[in-house]
Structure 1
Amino acid sequence: MFSALAATALLGGCASVETRPTAAVSASNPIVAQAGHLAGKHAGLTGAERAANEQQIDRLLTQLDDATLSREANALPPGDPLYNFVGRALMKRGLPLPRPFDRSSDWSFNAGQRPPAEADGYRPPMKLAVLLPSSGPSMIAGASVRDGLNAAYYGETRRRPEIHFYDTGSTGGGTLAAYDKAVADGNDFVIGPLGRDEVSALFAKGALPVPVLALNRGNVAPPSGNVSFSLTPEDEGLAAADYLLERKVKRVLAIDGGDDGQRRAIAALKERLAGGGAVVTDSVSEGTADLGPFVAKEGGVDAVFLAVKGSSARNLVPKLAMVGLSDKPRVATSQVLQGTGKPEQDRVLDGIAFPSETWTTGGIRGLSPAVGVAQTLPTARGPGGARLFAFGYDAWQLSAYLERLASRPDAYIAGATGVLRIDGGGTVLRTPAWSTFSSGVAVPLADASRR
């Protein structure tokens, strides 16, 4: 178990937060009118039907340019069910909200029972439960998240809650049993669980007696007053699309390695590009022998999206060069780091951009550099361990600042995984840092857009 002594050695400061009825629809804009109709019936839907309705609204809103989206947000009256969807779309684009999200009293996160907030909004729980696997097949991932959370917790010099860990693994009785035990023990806030199916099962219970910051995105929306925080492939696809749209790219060739996460990243990329007037021309397998026919199509290819691991990316780079794509923007998911680490082999990846964690690329205030932490803690080693460690670090920060994030439209956390905000439906939106390869080494990308 990560100790208070080890955490103190790793940290030199504390987290901070910075600031930044019936649907009324626009008769003059048919897209907004259709989205407003769907939003009006959203509260009455459940399960897969609700998720599909949400996706349809999001797809409609992606068709609006920034100016139109901002104008329509300003025009929506308080209480309009479309506002929270439009507000989330604004946040994803890095645009300001005209007013806070419309929220019920559930979004206080039991904060009324706590001492007053600090000037920066710091107001952590009184008694915190953390649901993570300490046994079973996910115990290694759970240990990385746990150690990152403990690093942030023990690095905080102000009031901290009692903290109790509950095993959701094979010997822990499962997630629902762990949550019920945490409630019975008098915890006033819960972080976890980690597994996607576990989050779905917990949120499927509906209203929860103790609010939750789930560490994944399930197939069930968070009940009112609960939050979902994740590092999903979809987030990376959206980030890559925004990166390419900012560079006026119109036609993107996508290449994937065949696993579910990689295909989900491409699906998200495709949807976001479509909203920005761009298109994925083709989505092909990493094993495709000749990319020439895809590049030779009318209109050509402006950029390449690589949803593959590092070893596959090294094999693909010569193929891209053969068809004239080596000088086009090449963007990858963070999976490109898997199988890298030898500069002499990775030089071929130079120039490929990919989303990354702020902590591992440039560092954050209050936490020792990733290289130094990895020397002390095995759970923070390698791209996967470092990513989950940063994820756990941010989970603690979110638990301490949720009230601030939920009540102010300009509030955000400059976290270890990126810039964090909360949308109107309880999803944490993450704007990652960006990195590239230079001389075979991953380095921060200086000119990447950072909102």
Structure 2
Amino acid sequence: MTNLTQARLFRHENLPFLLAALLLALLAGCAGGPAPAPQATPSAEEAQQTEALEKMVRQGRHLDAALAYSRLANRAAPPLREMYSLRAAELLKDGNYIPQSFQLLSEIQGANLGPEFHIRRVLLTADIALARQRPDEALAVLDSITSQLADDERDFRRRYHQLRAQAFEQLGQPLESAREHVLLEPLLDDPAAVQANQFAIVDELQQLTPQVLDGLAADEFGGWLALAAIGKGVDDSLPADELIARWRAQYPQHPASEATIARLLAARPQALRTPRRIALILPLGPRNRYAKAAEAVRNGFFAAYYARPRQAMADAVPGDGGAPHLEDAGSNAPPLQLRIYEEGRGAEAFDAVYQQAVADGADLVVGPLGKDAVSRLASRESLPVPVLALNYGEMNGAPPRNLFQLGLSPEQEAREVAQRAWLDGHRRTAVITPSTPWGDRVAKAFNERWLALGGHVVEVQHYDPKKNDYSLPIRRLLNVDESQARRKSVRRIIGEKIEFIPRRRQDIDAIFMVAFSRQARVIRPQLRFHHAPKVPVYTTSHAFSGTVDPQMDRDMDGVMFADMPWTLAPDALGQRLKGDIARAWPGAARRYTRLHALGVDAYRVIGQLNELRRDRAAHFAGETGELSLDADNRLQRRLLWARFQRGVPQLDTTEN
């Protein structure tokens, strides 16, 4: 039922793997009625539809395309039904919906649909096994098609070697993984893929011990290792051209071409280097209205900074913001220097602070926190020093390549709520939202995503968040007023009192509630009172205070919401950091807990940016969510899901 991150909630030994929304659509087409005539080729209309869907895939809309393919499968006859279903399963995997892909794949019937179908199904099975961290299973199923891959089937062979390389990497066998990458290289046509593959070869070989490397001296792996060392700038005593000339003389038969070498050398400097001086730019001034929020982010950042064990001690330079102090900072401080700068007021003020940080020698800037300042950064053509912004800016074009954005976007949460409600099988929603700019933005994000998925927004009502009674907008939301009006009309006609039970509208199957915890605690029981006790209610993390309080949340039972691991299921590190923060800053630990998590992730994700940029499908298990990097270098968060039970959020571990 949920898109929970498998790294935190899935138990790979016992996954429930239910896929209600998608599989019901598929299985409904298979149940009852005469079997349709076999259909071997798509009609002209279907061909146009699949072409449009593949364009959607290229835009990164994997879930949308998978749902559309499932609808095609529902209408198609075998064997097209199975082919469309397989494509839907492939796209679910590409979108990181692993349990859903697994379940759909297991439902597909098609043992005799030809070798191509069989190979695709095997490759997807192996891919899913790797996503579930089962490399032995992946290798076993791949072995079953080794002899079936013809030389001219480049796409299948390419995927075959990619999956084997990943499997050996998961097994901790870097030499075998490197061998698969070498076999893969002749099958790659995209220069960027060749470049990435060569990086993978080098990364795997650098994990080998000196003893193993000595045994490979006459092998081409030695040449790869030496080339990687040049590309990474390990030896800067000579110009790159001279180092390459010496390498060519030593490895004259090496398959790497001049173009490949040039691309390698050109690409390596683009990777973010491990920072030694980080500038943390936040609006910490005493008159800044965001000062408390900025302090929370700063404190989370420093808590993570001191929690990572390092051998050397470094200085934390206060700058204008004041450096925090933790009891056990001593031996655990990383070997880098942090300096805090006041962000100032207005987007223009940040420009001057950024230039000052660069002049002071910063090789990475974390900040700003203000949305306008991030938008201003996103509009620049380039940045001399990489920036990890702590908000999402408005973008009218491609942002600078070394601008990364991480934030706690309520719009992002609303879109995830829409996606979850859709996967739960709902199609017609009502929305209740505060009459504020914030409420309008959140409701708009939900509505746009909901409509894009194919759902219907039946009703939208606004409420005044300053009031304590929301009966009027709730009655309008549920059309209870119309029911009462009918009672008055009937009574007027017959002239007698009548027994009457108000009824709500019956054309909604879910409600999206936009609210903070104070308002949510009032809206939920009033929904029950106005005859909607069983209508599923979905909301964002804002409806949960972040602190378990069964007494205050006693009326919230049944409400489903998305939130970060930090508040719902912190790992060992998260629990430790929350304790550190509570001891160091007891007055702010509860109110600003999610901003503390943002600061923690801002520090921890720095070391993951290269990997996330190299592999856009990769995920980092952060405290604010499962983080991945999109094409615009915006870190997207996938959240956990919970349901209130007896006033306490309980993790929802089922899958739809």
- More helix as a share of residues: 2
Note if contact 1:147-1:379 (Cα within 8 Å) is conserved in structure 2. no
Note if contact 1:172-1:178 (Cα within 8 Å) is conserved in structure 2. no
State the 1:400 CA deviation.
1.4
State how 1:31-180 maps to structure 2 within 5 Å: 31=52, 63-66=64-67, 68=69, 91=95, 124-135=274-285, 136-158=288-310, 160-170=335-345, 174-180=349-355
Distance 2:234 2:583 in 1: 37
Distance 1:289 1:440 in 2: 22
Distance 1:302 1:102 in 2: 47
Aligned to 2:120: none
Cα distance change, pair 298–434 in 1 and its aligned pair in 2 (3 A): closer
State the 1:427 CA deviation.
0.9
* Aligned counterpart for 1:205 among listed residues 380, 384, 391: 380
Note if contact 1:255-1:306 (Cα within 8 Å) is conserved in structure 2. yes
Note if contact 2:627-2:637 (Cα within 8 Å) is conserved in structure 1. yes
* Aligned counterpart for 1:283 among listed residues 460, 468, 471: 460
* Aligned counterpart for 1:236 among listed residues 413, 426, 451: 413
Aligned to 1:321: 528
User: What secondary structure sits across from 2:554 in the alignment?
Assistant: helix
Cα distance change, pair 278–363 in 1 and its aligned pair in 2 (3 A): same
Distance 1:227 1:243 in 2: 27
1:77-98 Cα offsets, whole Å, 9 max, x none, are xxxxxxxxxx999648678999
* Aligned counterpart for 2:636 among listed residues 414, 429, 440: 429
Letter in 1 for 2:523: L
1:309-363 Cα offsets, whole Å, 9 max, x none, are 2222222223322444222221112221359875334201112121212022111
Distance 1:207 1:324 in 2: 56
Q: Is 2:370 the counterpart of 1:195?
A: yes
Note if contact 1:101-1:424 (Cα within 8 Å) is conserved in structure 2. no
Note if contact 1:91-1:423 (Cα within 8 Å) is conserved in structure 2. no
Letter in 2 for 1:408: D
Note if contact 2:461-2:474 (Cα within 8 Å) is conserved in structure 1. no
1:283-326 Cα offsets, whole Å, 9 max, x none, are 11234151331897986111111101222222222332244422
Q: Is 2:622 the counterpart of 1:445?
A: no
Distance 1:192 1:88 in 2: 34
> Structure 1 length as normaliser, TM-score?
0.72
1:370-396 Cα offsets, whole Å, 9 max, x none, are 46743442464224x100000010011
Distance 1:134 1:178 in 2: 13
Aligned to 1:357: 564
State the 1:28 CA deviation.
5.4
User: What secondary structure sits across from 1:64 in the alignment?
Assistant: helix
State how 1:271-310 maps to structure 2 within 5 Å: 271-286=448-463, 287=470, 288-290=473-475, 291-293=477-479, 300-310=507-517
* Aligned counterpart for 1:336 among listed residues 514, 518, 543: 543
* Between 210-219 and 367-376, the greater mean CA deviation after superposition: 367-376
Distance 2:516 2:233 in 1: 47
- More strand as a share of residues: 1
User: What secondary structure sits across from 2:594 in the alignment?
Assistant: helix
Q: Which runs of 5+ in 1 are unaligned?
A: 1-15, 17-25, 40-56, 70-86, 116-120
Identity %: 28
Distance 2:272 2:382 in 1: 26
Distance 1:130 1:432 in 2: 26
Q: Is 2:429 the counterpart of 1:268?
A: no
State the 1:143 CA deviation.
0.6
1:74-121 Cα offsets, whole Å, 9 max, x none, are xxxxxxxxxxxxx99964867899999979x9xx9xx96799xxxxx9
Task: Quote the RMSD (CA, aligned, Å).
Answer: 4.1
1:191-225 Cα offsets, whole Å, 9 max, x none, are 11001011112222221111111111111253223
Note if contact 1:257-1:309 (Cα within 8 Å) is conserved in structure 2. no
Note if contact 1:419-1:430 (Cα within 8 Å) is conserved in structure 2. yes
State how 1:412-423 maps to structure 2 within 5 Å: 412-423=619-630
Aligned to 1:374: 582
Rg larger in 1 or in 2?
A: 2
Letter in 2 for 1:167: E
Cα distance change, pair 126–428 in 1 and its aligned pair in 2 (3 A): same
Note if contact 1:237-1:333 (Cα within 8 Å) is conserved in structure 2. yes
Distance 2:446 2:97 in 1: 14
User: What secondary structure sits across from 1:344 in the alignment?
Assistant: coil
User: What secondary structure sits across from 1:252 in the alignment?
Assistant: strand
* Aligned counterpart for 2:390 among listed residues 215, 227, 230: 215
Distance 2:345 2:445 in 1: 33
Distance 1:101 1:439 in 2: 57
Note if contact 2:516-2:544 (Cα within 8 Å) is conserved in structure 1. yes
Distance 1:264 1:114 in 2: 49
User: What secondary structure sits across from 1:166 in the alignment?
Assistant: strand
Distance 1:316 1:164 in 2: 45
User: What secondary structure sits across from 2:461 in the alignment?
Assistant: strand
Cα distance change, pair 166–68 in 1 and its aligned pair in 2 (3 A): farther
Cα distance change, pair 162–373 in 1 and its aligned pair in 2 (3 A): closer
Distance 1:367 1:341 in 2: 16
User: What secondary structure sits across from 2:422 in the alignment?
Assistant: helix
Distance 1:427 1:89 in 2: 21
Note if contact 1:114-1:125 (Cα within 8 Å) is conserved in structure 2. no
State how 1:367-406 maps to structure 2 within 5 Å: 367-368=574-575, 370=578, 373-378=581-586, 380-383=588-591, 385-406=592-613
State the 1:234 CA deviation.
0.9
Letter in 1 for 2:277: K
Letter in 1 for 2:451: A
1:21-56 Cα offsets, whole Å, 9 max, x none, are xxxxx96546458879xx9xxxxxxxxxxxxxxxxx
* Between 233-242 and 310-319, the greater mean CA deviation after superposition: 310-319
Note if contact 1:419-1:432 (Cα within 8 Å) is conserved in structure 2. yes
Letter in 2 for 1:149: F
Structure with bigger RCO (C-alpha 8 Å, 6+ apart): 1
Note if contact 1:138-1:169 (Cα within 8 Å) is conserved in structure 2. no
Distance 2:300 2:642 in 1: 22
Equivalenced residues, count: 380
Cα distance change, pair 61–402 in 1 and its aligned pair in 2 (3 A): closer
Letter in 2 for 1:168: E
Cα distance change, pair 133–92 in 1 and its aligned pair in 2 (3 A): farther
User: What secondary structure sits across from 2:574 in the alignment?
Assistant: coil
> Structure 2 length as normaliser, TM-score?
0.51
